């Protein structure tokens, strides 16, 4: 069980009221959306991606790239916006990333991304809200 204290906390009822059932399954129960199912996968405008759980800015569109995996992928998050933990589910070891403000599960980090970081933050689109630049 995660005992880390986050700046934004909500009761289970508050999370369920704020999130759709799919968002709740992904963000609060560490689920995964179906690949290719989120419109944000195809978002190409300049702007910022925010956490649906707490509205924290997470990723800038200039670091988004097409990974061919079916999920929005980014080279790097905004500084301090994402924290990583070890995920040992499904008989494998992966790096999970979650929002540093509310602890919501966002996705996983892999070391097969393009330069400059070589990282691929593979993010569930339902965990994100996009705001284009004005």
**DSSP readout, 1-39?**
------SS---HHHHHHHS-HHHHHHHTT---PPTT--G
Report if pTM > 0.85.
yes
45 DSSP assignment: S
Q: What is the pLDDT of residues 81-92, one digit of tens each?
A: 999 998 888 788
Tokens for 42?
């195809």
Q: What is the pLDDT of residues 27-80, one digit of tens each?
A: 999 999 999 999 999 999 999 999 999 999 999 999 999 999 999 999 999 999
**Hey, CA dihedral for 75, 44, 59, 34, is it positive or negative?**
negative
Tokens for 16?
């369920």
Other beta carbons within 10 angstroms of residue 110's beta carbon come to 16
Tokens for 61?
């569109």
**Active site members:** 122
CB 128 within 8 A of CB 77: no
């Amino acid at each position: 069980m995660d005992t880390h204290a986050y700046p934004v906390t909500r009761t289970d009822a508050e999370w369920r009221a704020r999130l759709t059932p799919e968002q709740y399954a992904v963000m609060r129960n560490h689920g995964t959306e179906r690949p290719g199912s989120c419109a944000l996968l195809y978002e190409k405008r300049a702007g910022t991606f925010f956490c649906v759980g707490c509205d924290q800015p997470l990723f800038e569109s200039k670091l988004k790239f097409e990974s061919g995996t079916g999920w929005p992928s980014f080279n790097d998050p905004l500084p301090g916006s994402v924290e990583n933990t070890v995920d040992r589910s499904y008989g494998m070891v992966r790096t999970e990333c979650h929002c540093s403000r509310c602890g919501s599960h966002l996705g996983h980090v892999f070391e097969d991304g393009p330069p400059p970081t070589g990282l691929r933050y593979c993010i569930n689109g339902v965990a994100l809200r996009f705001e284009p630049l004005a």
